[in-house]
Amino acid sequence: MAADTQPDTGASERFEDVEWDELGGLGLPRRTQVLVVTALAYVAAVAYDVFVTDDAILSGTNWLFVLTLLVGVFFVVWPLVENRRLTAYYWRRFKKNRAAVVSAVYLVVVFVVGTFGPLLLAKPELNVLAAYQPPVFLSVDSTVPTTCVGQSADGLCHGTWQYPLGTTSDGKGIAKLVVFGMRVSMQVGLVTMLIVVSIGTAVGTSAAYFSGLVDEVLMRYVDIQQTFPTFFLFLIVTYLFKPSLFLLITIFGFLGWGGIARLVRSEALQRREESYIRAAENAGASDGWIIRRHLMPNVSNTVITAATLLIPSFILFEATFAFLGLTDPSTPSWGQVIASGRGDLDSAWWIATIPGVFLFFTVLAFNFVGDALRDALDPRSEGEA
Amino acid sequence: MSMHWYVARRVAWAVVATYLILTITFGLLAVAPGDGQTAFAFQAATEGGDVDEARETFDEITGRDEPLLTRYSNYMVNMATFNWGWSFTRNQPVMDAIAAAYPYSLMYAVPATLISIVFGYAIGLYSATHQYTLTDYVGTFTAFFGISIPNFWFGIMLILVFAVDLGWLPSYYQTGRGVWTLANAKQLILPVVVLSTGAIAGNMRYSRAEALEYVHADFVKTARAKGANDWRVLVRHIFRPAMVPLMTILVADILGLLFAGAYITEVVFQIPGLGLLSYRAIIQQDTALVMATTLVPVFIAIVGNLVQDIAYTVLDPRIDYGDR
């Protein structure tokens, strides 16, 4: 693994004679070194934000989002770049599914635009004069908008490039709202997925590895958690406390990992019987080491697939609650825009339609990609559709 | 371990889960800042009453001035005896409000469930036995469409097309049109379509995957070799073993899917069922009604899980009770 720390040993010296401690121990691979530095920097930045400054640099949700991105870079992107051959192999299998490739491209665009767009664009603002503008290339009866921003001809108001996707009933540009909504959807989907996957994998592998009482206690707890439908729990909590995106992510993240834990447990139970685990045990590896270095990497393909298929459900939940008006109204979510267009279906159909199209395609794309990942990553699924 | 012992243990477990959930709910109620007192006082004020008096009345009704332990035992006793409180926005006991609302939920949820089972399983089985044909691909694509489309947006789009543009169907539900009338059926079409689309997709995926396990099984090959025709193979040799997991998935998962889906469907189509009742209670801060309407689906989910597990052991002789 660590090619750069290879010791300069003489030809006569045998492997057993090497004084590893003199050579600075086993040495940490570069990824781990960068990871530790980044983690410390992240903790310091969060601590500074929480304890030192009064005005928050980033909101809680945004901090979690940054954390998710860092985890993604270190545990997905970096290993893929390091193991080019394996990456190429996965890619060959993945690209067989054309719908999934198109979906992946779409998701990358949504991700990039959603992450960086809100940094460049100003927040959509109220502008009563620009209410009900139709999307560009389309027109609507001039009685619908109070004033027509674009050209007005033959009793029809035409859309302009100033508002490429039209405006809402309070004159906010839908294109901008869609961009801001991309960030909300990506944040909810990815951050919740990170929490769910972390806890689910830790619990699942521990239960399978330790078995006995630990397994019983953990899995009984999962049973209780799974019987309580998260949808209704969130309804109760959002009613009793002030709703926010952070609350939604926490509730779904910390109470939604039961399924992943069960899946990981059943997968890890099989892995636990493999001879490499026995070998590691006999070589004196600690429990934590075996779980981290031998169990987790070998269940990761299952986890990644399940995680990709979980993301769309979180995005849908967020949109649903935003539609019901049970989230923070200042969060510009797609669900909220759809709700605001509900009353104007007969005059301004585009308000409810356009954000929904984006929502639908985002969820569909995640489902396609998850399905293709299962085929690409799981060696046992070969030959099956 | 005998089956009776397993069932007894499983039932006991459901009771424990119920108890825990009630306790957690009580805990949430006790620590939460907003629990409807303000809304109650506000309502009293708009009706010309005294605000402070209303606050005291509220505390008295809910017993907020008593010690925590007394409140806890009272709460548990009330829950167990189905004395679930008084809805101040509707001026009736919570139980009466629920009893008045649930028939409306059944009116579209029952047809949607039946449709999703029949179509979902039929398409799934067909896809499995005709793998990699055009029909299979169309079916798979439909499944992706069904699980990906947001229920509430689908509902709005259907209203836009069939009610606003074409004018064929009403855009929202109106009460007082009877139950078994054409007018009522017409206004239930869109809710049933919205609710069943997602469920059909789910059933289809399950049944396709489940049936695929048996399509290439040895006993199916044997049956074919002995000259059984396609229909007999499908019904007697594939459908029968696949039924066991499908039956049990149905109970819990479909219930959950329908309940969460029904909530949003009722809000979109303004159907005065349990979902809309609960939603209005949340908006109007009617705590007792919020609690009751959210706990009902939770309990149904617990019972559903129980029935699922027991059905599984009864139906499938291969299950080993020792392994939960």
pLDDT at A2: 43
Helices A245-255 and A230-240, packing angle to 10 deg? 140
pLDDT at A221: 86
In degrees, to the nearest 5, what angle opens at C-alpha A157 toward C-alphas A152 and A160?
90
DSSP single-letter state for residue A128: G
Q: Is the pLDDT of residue A123 over 80?
A: no
Of B144, B151, B301, the CB nearest to A227: B301
Q: Is the pLDDT of residue A384 over 50?
A: no
Give the residue numbers spanning the domain of B67.
3-85
Residue A192 confidence class, pLDDT cut points 50, 70, 90: very high
pLDDT at B323: 47
- For residues A148 and A248, state if they share a domain: no
Using a CB–CB cutoff of 8 Å, tell me whether B307 touches chain A. Answer: no
Q: Residue B153 and residue A352: Cβ atoms within 8 Å?
A: yes
What average pLDDT does this structure show over B287-293?
Answer: 83
Mean pLDDT rounded to a whole number for chain B: 79
What average pLDDT does this structure show over B224-231?
Answer: 85
Q: Is the pLDDT of residue A3 over 60?
A: no
Q: Select the more confidently predicted residue: B193 or B187.
A: B193
What average pLDDT does this structure show over A205-226?
Answer: 85
CATH classification of the domain holding A94: 1.10.3720.10
B140: closest chain A residue by CA: A385
A359: closest chain B residue by CA: B150
| A242/chain B closest Cα distance in angstroms | 8
Q: Select the more confidently predicted residue: B120 or A169.
A: B120
Residue A302 confidence class, pLDDT cut points 50, 70, 90: confident
Between A100-104, A146-150, B6-10, B94-98, the lowest mean confidence (pLDDT) is in A146-150
Residue A184 contacts residue A360 (beta carbons within 8 Å): no
Read off the pLDDT of residues A75-121 as tens digits, 9 standing for 90 and up: 888 888 888 888 888 888 888 888 888 999 999 999 998 888 888 87
Last residue of a domain, one of B85, B109, B130: B85
- For residues A219 and A90, state if they share a domain: yes
Does some domain include residue A8?
no
pLDDT at B34: 55
| B119/chain A closest Cα distance in angstroms | 21
Beta pairing partners, A173: A167
Using a CB–CB cutoff of 8 Å, tell me whether B19 touches chain A. Answer: no
- For residues B58 and B102, state if they share a domain: no
Q: Is the pLDDT of residue A234 over 70?
A: yes
- For residues A181 and A71, state if they share a domain: yes
Residues from chain B contacting residue A343 (CB–CB below 8 Å):
none
- For residues A335 and A321, state if they share a domain: yes
- For residues B62 and B183, state if they share a domain: no
Of A226, A228, A360, the CB nearest to B153: A360
Residues from chain A contacting residue B285 (CB–CB below 8 Å):
239
Between A21-30, B192-201, B268-277, the lowest mean confidence (pLDDT) is in A21-30
Number of domains in chain A: 2
Read off the pLDDT of residues B169-190 as tens digits, 9 standing for 90 and up: 777 777 777 777 777 777 888 8
Helix, strand, coil fractions of chain B, as percent rounded to 5 = 75, 0, 20
- For residues B79 and B102, state if they share a domain: no
Q: How far lies A130's CA from each of A157, A160, A180, A272, A355, in Å?
A: 12, 11, 19, 63, 19
- For residues B246 and B107, state if they share a domain: yes
pLDDT > 90: percent of chain B: 0
A325: closest chain B residue by CA: B283
Of A224, A239, A359, the CB nearest to B20: A224
Q: Is the pLDDT of residue A360 over 90?
A: yes
- For residues B218 and B245, state if they share a domain: yes
CATH classification of the domain holding B110: 1.10.3720.10
Q: For the CA atoms of chain B, what is the radius of gyration?
A: 24
- For residues B37 and B113, state if they share a domain: no
| B114/chain A closest Cα distance in angstroms | 23
pLDDT > 70: percent of chain B: 84
Does some domain include residue A265?
yes
Tally the residues of chain B: 324
Q: Residue B17 and residue A223: Cβ atoms within 8 Å?
A: yes
Q: Is the pLDDT of residue A361 over 90?
A: yes
State the best of B148, B215, B267, B289 to mutate against chain A, taking most chain A CBs within 10 Å: B148
Q: Residue B34 and residue A349: Cβ atoms within 8 Å?
A: no
CB neighbour class for B237 (10 Å; exposed up to 12, middle 13-18, buried from 19): buried
Rounded CA separation B111/B133 (Å): 30
Give the residue numbers spanning the domain of A352.
59-124+173-377
pLDDT at B258: 66
Q: Is the pLDDT of residue A294 over 90?
A: no
Does some domain include residue A164?
no
pLDDT at B165: 78
Q: Is the pLDDT of residue A293 over 70?
A: yes
- For residues A136 and A271, state if they share a domain: no
- For residues B78 and B105, state if they share a domain: no
DSSP single-letter state for residue A122: P
B84 Cβ contact partners less than 8 Å away, ≥ 6 residues apart:
B78, B93, B94, B95, B288, B291, B292
pLDDT at A21: 63
Q: Residue B131 and residue A385: Cβ atoms within 8 Å?
A: yes
pLDDT at B15: 87
* Structure-block tokens of residue B65: 């001035």
CA proximity to A160, closest of A125, A190, A130: A130
Number of domains in chain B: 2
pLDDT at A383: 41
Does some domain include residue A17?
no
- For residues A262 and A336, state if they share a domain: yes
State the best of B22, B153, B205 to mutate against chain A, taking most chain A CBs within 10 Å: B153
DSSP single-letter state for residue A167: B
Between A359-368, B40-49, B103-112, the lowest mean confidence (pLDDT) is in B40-49
Q: Is the pLDDT of residue B204 over 70?
A: yes
Q: Residue B260 and residue A229: Cβ atoms within 8 Å?
A: yes
Of A228, A356, A384, the CB nearest to B150: A356
Rounded CA separation B19/A54 (Å): 43
Does some domain include residue A7?
no
Of A227, A338, A364, the CB nearest to B305: A227
- For residues B313 and B242, state if they share a domain: yes
Last residue of a domain, one of B59, B85, B111: B85
Rounded CA separation B98/B292 (Å): 8
Using a CB–CB cutoff of 8 Å, tell me whether A254 touches chain B. Answer: no
- For residues A213 and A65, state if they share a domain: yes
Does some domain include residue A350?
yes
Residues from chain B contacting residue A359 (CB–CB below 8 Å):
150, 153
Using a CB–CB cutoff of 8 Å, tell me whether A335 touches chain B. Answer: yes
Using a CB–CB cutoff of 8 Å, tell me whether A231 touches chain B. Answer: yes
Residues from chain A contacting residue B131 (CB–CB below 8 Å):
385
- For residues B17 and B129, state if they share a domain: no
Does some domain include residue B117?
yes
Rounded CA separation B102/A171 (Å): 40
Residues from chain A contacting residue B151 (CB–CB below 8 Å):
320
Q: Is the pLDDT of residue A267 over 90?
A: no
Helices A212-227 and A258-272, packing angle to 10 deg? 150
pLDDT at B317: 64
Beta pairing partners, B160: none
B256: closest chain A residue by CA: A229
Residue A297 neighbours by CB distance under 10 Å: 11
pLDDT at A195: 92
Q: Residue B150 and residue A319: Cβ atoms within 8 Å?
A: yes
- For residues B122 and B69, state if they share a domain: no
- For residues A274 and A247, state if they share a domain: yes
Q: Is the pLDDT of residue B106 over 70?
A: yes
| A71/chain B closest Cα distance in angstroms | 27
Q: Residue B132 and residue A345: Cβ atoms within 8 Å?
A: no
Q: Residue A320 and residue B152: Cβ atoms within 8 Å?
A: yes
Q: Residue B35 and residue A240: Cβ atoms within 8 Å?
A: yes
Q: At A241, which amino acid appears?
A: F
A238: closest chain B residue by CA: B282
- For residues B110 and B148, state if they share a domain: yes
B291: closest chain A residue by CA: A236
State the best of A236, A265, A266, A310 to mutate against chain B, taking most chain B CBs within 10 Å: A236
Rounded CA separation A79/A31 (Å): 9
Q: Is the pLDDT of residue B162 over 50?
A: yes
Using a CB–CB cutoff of 8 Å, tell me whether A367 touches chain B. Answer: yes
Residue B271 contacts residue B173 (beta carbons within 8 Å): yes
DSSP single-letter state for residue B118: H
Using a CB–CB cutoff of 8 Å, tell me whether A217 touches chain B. Answer: no
Read off the pLDDT of residues B238-265 as tens digits, 9 standing for 90 and up: 887 777 777 766 665 666 666 777 788 8
Residues from chain A contacting residue B25 (CB–CB below 8 Å):
236
- For residues A357 and A226, state if they share a domain: yes
Chains A and B form CB pairs within 8 A to the count of 117
Q: Is the pLDDT of residue A355 over 50?
A: yes
Q: Residue A235 and residue B278: Cβ atoms within 8 Å?
A: yes
- For residues A140 and A231, state if they share a domain: no
- For residues A219 and A293, state if they share a domain: yes
| B49/chain A closest Cα distance in angstroms | 25
Q: What is the DSSP track for A265-320? A: HHHHHHHHTSHHHHHHHHTT--HHHHIIIIIHHHHHHHHHHHHHHHHHHHHHHHHH
- For residues A187 and A328, state if they share a domain: yes
pLDDT at B70: 81
Does some domain include residue B90?
no
pLDDT at B62: 63
Rounded CA separation B257/B199 (Å): 7
- Predicted interface score ipTM higher than 0.85: no
- For residues B58 and B156, state if they share a domain: no
Residue A353 contacts residue A137 (beta carbons within 8 Å): no
Rounded CA separation B80/B82 (Å): 6
Last residue of a domain, one of B56, B85, B114: B85
Residue A317 contacts residue A310 (beta carbons within 8 Å): no
Of all helices (H) and strands (E), which one includes residue A227? Answer: helix A212-227
Residues from chain B contacting residue A383 (CB–CB below 8 Å):
none
Mean pLDDT rounded to a whole number for chain A: 81
Residue A27 confidence class, pLDDT cut points 50, 70, 90: low
In degrees rounded to 5, what are phi and psi of residue B269? -95, 5
Rounded CA separation B61/B89 (Å): 14
Q: Select the more confidently predicted residue: A184 or A3.
A: A184
Q: Residue B150 and residue A316: Cβ atoms within 8 Å?
A: yes
Read off the pLDDT of residues B51-90 as tens digits, 9 standing for 90 and up: 777 777 766 666 666 777 888 888 888 877 777 777 777 7
